[in-house]
Chain A
Amino acid sequence: MPVRVAFMQLSSCWGCHQSLLNAHLGLLPILPELEIVYWPAVVDFKHESLVARPDGDIVVGFIEGVARTKQDTENVKLMRKKCKVIVAIGACACYGSVKGLANLYDKEELINRKFKETESITDDDPKEPTEHVPGIEEFIVNVKDIIDVEMFIPGCPPTTDNIIAAISYLLTLVGEGPDSLKKNSTICETCNLLKKGCLLDQNILCYGSITAAGCEEMCPNNGELCYGCFRPTAKPHEKSKQLKDILDNVLALTPEQGASLQHFLDLYLGASNITNFYFRGDLIQRLGYEPESFATKEVNGRLILDVAPTGNAIMDEIVGRAMHLLKDDPSFKFSSKTVCSHCERDVADKVPTELKRDYEGLPTMDKCFLEQGYICLGPVTQAGCGTICPNKANAPCLGCYGPPVGVKDQGAKFISALGSLCANREPEEVMKLIKDPAGLFNRFTLAESTLGHKFHDKMEGE
């Protein structure tokens, strides 16, 4: 069964669509899997057909672009109503991209330059267009601050591979699973160890009691524990109480238990090892990115995170407890890599020998840009792009994949990194190089940043 999808384009450049279409022949296996019900860039369905659909009728809705106009904002809300899963695709929808730089100015300044002051305008008294146009928002507010977003695919644009990987992954999530899957049964029911000596009896974490049956290579029958890769069952085995007891009695995780829980949650909740996009609906990723976004509740005197991925009380409590334990566990690391960690250039200490503007000289292909004196945002940028700019194009990283996990403000992080790299220099010399910190360090994330721009000033003033 093809999955019903919609693509919404807000104010944007079409580049994310082009990046997807760049798959060219690679599109052929994917297209039959999709029932496209709205995609103005490619197909002819009109806006009213989207409005007419029942709420929640569309499985996956992709949103591209920024909410620059009032119509954009309405379309964001419309997509949330019509789609079960919302994917923010591209730097614009994730964190504003370069269009967020407009937040450095008041709306009047933007409008005056474009519609009144431009040198080529010939009207005596030019005015902002108002007829049959939607109106301009005061500032760019990121999509995730207008509605809940489940998944983020960063990049300006995301690479073709990233988009195809994300779509394929989503299709597996909403698909029906293998033919052998038995949702109404559990691993325990066909497990040899149940009689020979259950791992849970030895206080070892095994997740078969809450996992659907149907796997052909039974791990427990080969002496391995079950990590739950066949995902939640509809009917947990009575052994699940024992699993819950073990977790309830843990005060601090051992390193083995921590690793076990993380591996289990990765498989059980359908998480993947793909780190070049953020799927908020993937609870383990969300635990890494935004641990404080979960509510905590108390069940039987034990604290658990309030999550409901399975819809079954005991299984949700087990997952919630596991996540609570992992949340404060020092061995739980959901770290993402930076562009630097994938870059092929030779690097010693990243300390610049001199500072240069980008038009000066010509960098060599083999040595770290920072060491050659050029500003490069690799250290504060999420990996996943394939390090094209530094390694294929001899151009420093501009930061288009946004900040890595745990970094709130890409620009602030870079300033602090540059400060320590230039500790042996006069501040004046460094400042001479960076006359435009917002444009250099927050080029793609200004709409996300709190670095004193007008949107936030206004918000705080209210």
Chain B
Amino acid sequence: MVKEIEVEPVTRLEGHGGLRIVLGDDGKVKDAQFNITSTRFFEKFCEGRYCEHVPRITPRICGICPIPHHLTPTKAVEDAWGVQIPEPARKLRILLQNAKQYSSHLLHFYALAAPDFLLGPFADPALRNVVHVINKMPEVGAMALKMMDFGQKLCAAIGGKSVHPICAIVGGMKKPLDEDVRDKFLKDVDEQIEFTKKTVEIGLKVVEDYWDVIANVGVVPTYYVGLTKDGVHDIYEGDIRIVTPEGKKIDYAPQNYLDALGEHIPDHSYATHMYYKPAGYPEGIYRANTLAMINAADKMATPLANDALKAFREKTGPISHHTFAFHWARLIETVEAIEVIATLLKDPDVVNPDCKTLDIEPKEAAGVGVTEAPRGLLLYNIWSDAAGICKKLNLLVATNHNIAGIEKSLMHVAKQVFEDKALEGLKLPDPWIK
């Protein structure tokens, strides 16, 4: 008898999705699907809007990563209209992007992912959540909350609001950071660096505990997509970098994205499947997000993060296909984020009022903006008419870049679980929280 295993909904996820695994009579996995069950059509209803207002609509695509969804379309319009922005505005945006990276990665690590490995895979589902983690590990919980709070408050200080910011405008930023506000963050940032180091320690302990799982479950060779600037890890600007399963790196200027990125419309998911066009579908399925960024980078942009990258590569090799290593990769990026934040808070440009180009003319042209959102590459391609009205918009968001890769990993793991019984001999640690 054909057996269908359904997980509805996938929880601790910031969107809508279900998993479906179909097993045949022979116990073989026939199908594995990741069904994304919601979509909202931003790419259509942004048509007809003023281009400068598109970045004030699109943050509503994602409440966890509204900042990249604010900055990226702004960059796309600037690209279309040929607008240069003052250096202080650029630095302020980089600070904002990193503040978001920091709080989002910590939210993911502590609130979304940690319940899995702190309670273990066999815990009571009623308890396997962040509330229980906070109750059982109050010191770690309080530290995690203070870290997320720092990141979100910094987002709000620059963005106006941390969720759905309004600070960026075509030509720069609406205002610099206030000096007294900057001073408050500067006072707290050293403590945050210490918290980050502690978080990395916790992460490394988890890696050690679960190494058997990381090294043996869900090791799936795929392509990867990420953003790098001259080969260095960057989340605000640079080139789209494709990494082949063998570790070869190929760079594309954002404007040439159609040469690299193909979109397949699956029959069973509203989120489309992205893949590396020259390799074809499904062979060219890639993964995005933290592990992809770490695989793409020649080096990290800051010293502590670069040390963390070296330690990672010593364990996994120059390219890692370990699905469970996404968490570790996320921590490396978290270290970089807090180092960038610490550096930029000391930079006088972030309080410099010269943060907006004043003379701007709309132009009939297309533009591309790319950044790296916390969950993966984010690309906006906008077409403006001569009056500066958006005629057309193409949006390639992190979800698109991840779904095909997740489904491929799911198929791989389903076969390991149901066909090879690979979980049976696996070494699992005693849960930290019992």
Contact = CB atoms under 8 A, between A and B. Distances in A.
B163 A157 contact: yes
B322 interface: no
Contacts of A360: 358, 360
Contact of A398 (B126, B142, B166): B166
A9 to B, nearest CB: 7
Most buried by A among B15, B39, B48, B126: B39
A36 interface: yes
A462 to B, nearest CB: 23
Interface string B111-137: 100010000000001101111001000
Given A104-B48, A122-B281, A14 B111 contact: no
B60 A13 contact: yes
B49 interface: yes
B93 interface: no
Nearest to A36: B131
A458 interface: no
A439 interface: yes
Main secondary structure of the interface of B (DSSP, over half): loop
Contacts of A42: 11-12, 111, 129-131
B198 interface: no
B52 interface: yes
A18 interface: yes
Q: Chain B, interface size: which category?
A: 35 or more
Given A40-B13, A109-B44, A440-B50, A393 B164 contact: no
Contact of B40 (A31, A102, A398, A439): A102
B39 A68 contact: yes
A36 B53 CA distance: 38
Contacts of A345: none
Nearest to A392: B160
Contact of A435 (B61, B167, B257, B387): B387
Contacts of B35: 132-133
Nearest to B400: A120
B174 A133 contact: no
A13 B7 CA distance: 21
Contacts of B148: 21, 24
B267 interface: yes
Given A105-B45, A132-B268, A357-B52, A13 B62 contact: yes
B356 interface: yes
A156 B145 CA distance: 23
Contact of A19 (B62, B163, B268): B163
A257 interface: no
Contact of B263 (A17, A18, A121): A121
B318 interface: no
Contact of A18 (B40, B43, B64, B149): B64
A272 B339 CA distance: 46
Contacts of B263: 118, 120-122
A316 interface: no
A311 interface: no
Given A25-B149, A40-B13, 7 more contacts: A40-B9, A43-B12, A99-B40, A126-B265, A134-B37, A362-B356, A436-B48
18 contacts: A12-B63, A17-B63, A41-B11, A43-B126, A44-B126, A46-B125, A47-B9, A101-B45, A114-B39, A131-B267, A134-B37, A358-B52, A359-B52, A359-B170, A393-B159, A393-B160, A435-B50, A438-B48
A-B pairs, 10 with minimum CB distance: A15-B63, A393-B160, A14-B63, A44-B125, A395-B166, A101-B45, A394-B174, A120-B263, A126-B265, A13-B63
